[in-house]
Chain A
């Protein structure tokens, strides 16, 4: 069953085509990584899929709901963790979770359950009474991602989730993302090739709004005759010009 079906999705900003007639299907439970250099259209794509931006033309379906016709229905089943850490800075970790849960209309009992789930998944119980602004960058990012789970989404968009984190914090987040993958479909954008290699079921490579490749990493290696995602990515994006 497809969690996401994208049909000729296009986004133009004045004379720039950010996403150029994208077609893609992502299965339920899959972790799909979108790779691309800056300006490739990754973030615009997930903003359209999460209903934050309207497409210029085309459509996409999250399960049976159209991003054009049913944005409110989609909001009930998706959530997003942005590139930037997006938390309420002066609220404690627990208050942040309460705030998001109440805003999404959850009842007290549900909130307690979601807190337990988040605390165990992200180990945030260690810092639950601390104000978000007083947490380290790694903990803030963890909280930011954790908040996207408060709404219990069926589809989770992670836009550069480990951007700016140190190696240890990044590895810890990978571990958490692998756990999350068991319960939901995840679409992840990243600049870190090793991240895509470690986490993804399939990889999509975008350039100038177009999807140049979709497949597993093994298929990527065969197509480019490379043995790492980084080399294969460079080969595809540069058209082979930067091959070593």
Chain B
């Protein structure tokens, strides 16, 4: 096997173990969003269409992905601050191998989150079981990359202590600016435009519209996807530059 690919796989396996063995990460990436999915459905689904499972489950999937920023960032910040990464630099591993391994190790978690929340949603409201659900699960991998890129960037900049506070901005952003917890119709036009420029609502729209079908393919799917991909690419490039510079300066 190519030695670079082999190193990426070894690093990925280690990163995955570090995350799944942290009980806090399981609570925040699985238990808490699952609790929210069931609770909000039970309380609100009769009152507003917003919390019907066909909208709630995709929202919960993207909401849970926001927590991946925190755990990606935390892992990198700890690795940097404990000199773990510095030591690995004496091996032949390269910066891009580290970054790829961090990203790849989080994707299976995002994938499992998505399957779980859609399955639970489907058990509660079986009408959402469809071929589109499989497509929505696959699309959630793309939206997860945005949050992973955020995590890599934050982890490259922040300390272990500050990463929680900084990542909460993303989690709050996903909660408030995605429009999943409240109807946006009553909001000002300016604020709605602001939400549409940012990736949070677009990421949620991608999954919701993939699950529920698309009327206007450009506005409902292509444009949100392009916006999320643009943020993801830019963030990855910035994260790689910052990560490399931080490691060099250390």
Q: Do A and B come from one complex?
A: yes
The interface of chain A, by Cβ under 8 A from chain B, is 50-52, 72, 75, 78-91, 95, 99-100, 102-105, 131, 147-148, 151
Q: Check A50–B3 contact: CB distance below 8 A.
A: no
A75/B90 in contact, CB under 8 A: yes
A-B pairs with beta carbons under 8 A, tally: 66
Residues of chain B with a CB closer than 8 A to A86's CB: 82-84, 86-87
Q: Does B96 interact with chain A (Cβ within 8 Å)?
A: no
**Quick check: A91 and B18 within 8 Å, CB to CB?**
yes
Which B residues fall within an 8 A CB radius of A?
3, 6-7, 10-11, 14, 17-18, 21-22, 78, 81-84, 86-93
* Chain A positions within 8 Å of B84 at CB level: 86-88
**C-alpha spacing A72/B90, complex, angstroms:** 9
Query: 7 A-B Cβ contacts within 8 A?
Result: A84-B82, A87-B84, A88-B84, A89-B82, A91-B14, A103-B93, A131-B21
Residues of B within 8 A of A95 (CB): 14, 17
Determine the chain A residues whose CB is within 8 A of the CB of B86 once the complex forms: 52, 82, 86
The residue of chain B having its C-beta at the shortest distance from the C-beta of A53 within the complex is: B248
- Tell me if B91 and A75 are in contact (CB < 8 A): yes
Could you tell me if B18 and A90 are in contact, using CB atoms closer than 8 angstroms?
Answer: yes
Shortest Cβ distance from A151 into B: residue:
B91
The distance in angstroms between the C-alpha atoms of A99 and B11, with both chains bound, is: 8
Q: How far is the CA of A185 from the CA of B221 in the complex (A)?
A: 62
Asked if A89 and B7 sit within 8 Å, CB to CB, the answer is no
Check B10–A99 contact: CB distance below 8 A. yes
Contacts of A105 in B (CB 8 A): 3, 6, 92
Contacts A91-B17, A91-B18, A95-B17 given; indicate if A84 touches B83 (C-beta within 8 A): yes
Given contacts A52-B89, A91-B14, A151-B91, contact A85 B82 (CB under 8 A): yes
* Contacts known (A99-B10, A102-B10, A103-B11); A90 close to B21, Cβ less than 8 A: yes
Closest to A84 in B: B83
Partner pick for B87 among A80, A89, A91, A131, CB 8 A cutoff = A80
B78 touches A89 (CB 8 A): yes
Contacts of B17 in A (CB 8 A): 88, 90-91, 95
